[in-house]
């Protein structure tokens, strides 16, 4: 059930914090269910840290879907054909929908839409750093579908088995729709690769700019992500950052070959012994710099998002006023 | 950020019937000012790929749910009543399918 209306009362957090030192009966039951690979539902008791971790992760995920509309939205009016324009509109609309599924899932944990939007708009909450890079040419739109959505799918498929029921169910829906996103991007690039030298150069340029950023999307190396272990223990995270990254690379190399582009990593090489591709060093300083708000588009993305929200205020007010009026009219007629 | 309107938009649960003859199934929730807007938004959010032929929206506050703490009392009594299942009964093989 996607609702916070009958959720645990607000003061539960304080009470739980007080008893959390000695494992209570509730805590034991929670742990047992996690161990049995069972699912946690909104009304079930859960440790405060589990709740907090989920609220942070799901709301960040939702923010990423919403901000993710911006780099592609830039290209709707400049898509090269009516077909590509219709496809892009459908994709951007999907992203908005994904944001909504995820906000709803987070709301079952006792946070509100307003709190989450306030977190995003004030810059307190994070979203995927990949959207803080510019989309310079049409090939970027294809590359976002192929690589960015491809990386997102790698991340999201294991989340369909997340221990928190509403999050897992939202991810099932998201993953079903996401496959179209990746395929449309790859196909758009295939078309460009069959075009002129200039078009092929555009695709290669877009791949060069996005490849390393996509690898960073999986997060810091396992050795540097202290929270990962707890997330794995709780069944929130199922596969580690490095393992997902490796899976993505292994899946993408053959796709790049078919497309006819070079992935910009001289160290990228099949390792027979490991049964995986080896790859070079990711620039984590650059990644963290962007996460901290200093990427090329952080300020612009946030400003665009806040403006869209503020510009829509009158629509929300009008809908509210209309609903109130209709209710009053119905009451009057009944009297 | 001042968004009083959004705060006042109640939460609705959305149920979609995927095709004629099947039941409506819960598929998610959304905020909307009133029932008509909730239906409209549910169409855009949950049926972009012909997932449904009918939508219900229900104010979330109108739903009464069983308490998870009562799970034992409510559902355990059914556990030892295996005679409620057809497999409890042994029927001679020559009778065939029954």
* Tens digits of residue pLDDT in B11-54: 999 999 999 999 999 999 999 999 999 999 999 999 999 899 99
Q: Model ipTM?
A: 0.81
Q: Is residue B13 part of a domain?
A: yes
Locate A216 and state its tokens. 């960073």
Three-state DSSP class for A274? coil
8 A C-beta contact, residue B60 and residue B11? yes
Separation between Cα atoms, residue B33 and residue B35, nearest integer Å: 7
Locate A149 and state its tokens. 């959505």
Domain that residue B59 falls in: 9-90
CA distance B76 to chain A (A): 17
Q: How many domains is chain B partitioned into structurally?
A: 1
Q: Is residue B34 part of a domain?
A: yes
Exposure class string for A240-260: b at 16+ Cβ within 10 A, else e:
bbbebbbbbbeebbebbeebe
In sequence order, the β-bridge partners of residue B16 are: B25, B55
Chain B CB contacts of A171 below 8 Å: none
Q: Is residue B1 part of a domain?
A: no
- pTM (2 decimals)? 0.88
- Put simply, whether A41 touches B (Cβ < 8 Å) is yes
Give, for all 335 residues of chain A, the pLDDT tens digit: 333 322 323 333 444 444 455 678 889 999 999 999 999 999 899 999 999 999 999 999 999 999 999 999 999 999 999 999 999 999 999 999 999 999 999 999 999 999 999 999 999 999 999 999 999 999 999 999 999 999 999 999 999 999 999 999 999 999 999 989 999 999 999 999 999 999 999 999 999 999 999 999 999 999 888 778 889 999 999 999 999 999 999 999 999 999 999 999 999 999 999 999 999 999 999 999 999 999 999 999 999 999 999 999 999 999 999 999 998 999 999 88
CA distance A223 to chain B (A): 37
Q: Is residue B19 part of a domain?
A: yes
- Put simply, whether A112 touches B (Cβ < 8 Å) is yes
CA distances (Å), origin A47, targets A69, A293, B51: 34, 31, 36
**CA A328 to the chain's CA centroid:** 41
CATH of the domain at B52: 3.10.20.520
């Amino acid at each position: 059930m996607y609702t916070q209306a009958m959720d645990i009362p607000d003061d539960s957090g304080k009470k739980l914090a007080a008893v959390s030192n000695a494992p209570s009966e509730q805590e034991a039951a929670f742990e047992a269910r996690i161990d049995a690979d069972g699912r946690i539902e909104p009304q079930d008791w859960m440790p405060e840290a589990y709740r907090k971790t989920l609220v942070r992760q799901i709301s960040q995920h939702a923010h990423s879907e919403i901000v993710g509309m911006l780099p592609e939205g830039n290209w709707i009016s400049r898509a090269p054909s009516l077909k590509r324009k219709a496809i892009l509109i459908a994709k951007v609309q999907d992203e908005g929908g994904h944001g909504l599924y995820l906000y709803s899932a987070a709301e079952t944990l006792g946070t509100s839409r307003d709190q989450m939007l306030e977190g995003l708009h004030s810059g307190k909450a994070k979203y995927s750093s990949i959207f803080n890079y510019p989309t310079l040419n049409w090939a970027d739109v294809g590359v976002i579908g192929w690589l960015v959505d491809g990386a997102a799918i790698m991340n999201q498929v294991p989340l369909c088995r997340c221990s928190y029921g509403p999050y897992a169910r939202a991810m099932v829906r998201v993953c079903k729709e996401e496959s179209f996103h990746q395929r449309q991007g790859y196909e758009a690039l295939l078309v460009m690769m069959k075009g002129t030298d200039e078009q092929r150069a555009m695709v290669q340029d877009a791949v060069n700019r996005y490849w390393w950023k996509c690898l960073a999307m999986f997060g810091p190396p396992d050795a540097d992500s202290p929270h990962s272990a707890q997330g794995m223990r709780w069944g929130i995270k199922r596969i580690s950052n490095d393992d997902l990254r490796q899976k993505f690379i292994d899946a993408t190399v053959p796709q790049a070959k078919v497309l006819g582009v070079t992935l910009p990593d001289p160290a990228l090489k099949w390792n027979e012994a490991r049964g995986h591709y080896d790859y070079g060093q990711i620039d984590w300083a650059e990644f963290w710099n962007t996460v901290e708000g200093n990427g090329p588009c952080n300020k612009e993305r946030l400003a665009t998002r806040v403006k869209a929200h503020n510009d829509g205020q009158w629509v929300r007010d009008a809908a509210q006023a209309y609903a109130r009026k209709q209710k009053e009219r119905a009451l009057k007629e009944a009297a | 950020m001042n968004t009083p309107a959004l705060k006042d938009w109640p939460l609705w649960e959305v149920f979609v019937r995927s095709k004629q003859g099947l039941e409506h199934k819960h598929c998610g929730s959304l905020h909307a000012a009133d029932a008509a807007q909730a239906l409209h938004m549910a169409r855009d959010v949950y049926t972009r790929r012909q997932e449904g032929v009918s939508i219900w929206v229900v104010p979330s506050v109108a739903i009464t749910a069983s308490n998870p703490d009562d799970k034992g009392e409510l559902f355990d009594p059914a556990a030892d009543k295996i005679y409620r299942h057809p497999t409890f009964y042994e029927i001679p093989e020559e009778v065939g399918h029954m």
